[in-house]
C-alpha cells in the first residue's frame, strides 16, 4: 500500500510476515511507480 503522510509518500507492505514501512523519498508522487518497479525487480 502506498500512502501520503505529511508531505512524504510511504510504502507499507509485508514479506513472510515481516512488516516494512519504507519512505519513498518523493513528495510529489511522480517517481513512485518506477521506484517500486526497480525495488521489486531487485528481490
Q: What is the 3-state secondary structure (H, E, C) of 9-34?
A: EEEEEEECCEEEEEECCCCCCCCHHH
| Tally of domains in the chain | 1
Q: Which pLDDT score is estimated for 18?
A: 93
Q: Which pLDDT score is estimated for 17?
A: 92
Per-residue pLDDT tens for 1-43?
A: 888 888 888 889 999 999 999 888 767 766 677 767 777 776 5
Q: Which pLDDT score is estimated for 34?
A: 72
Amino acid at each position: 500500500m502506498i500512502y501520503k503522510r505529511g508531505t512524504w509518500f510511504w510504502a507499507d507492505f509485508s514479506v513472510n510476515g515481516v512488516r516494512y514501512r519504507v519512505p519513498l523519498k518523493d513528495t510529489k508522487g511522480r517517481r513512485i511507480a518506477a521506484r517500486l518497479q526497480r525495488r521489486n525487480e531487485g528481490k
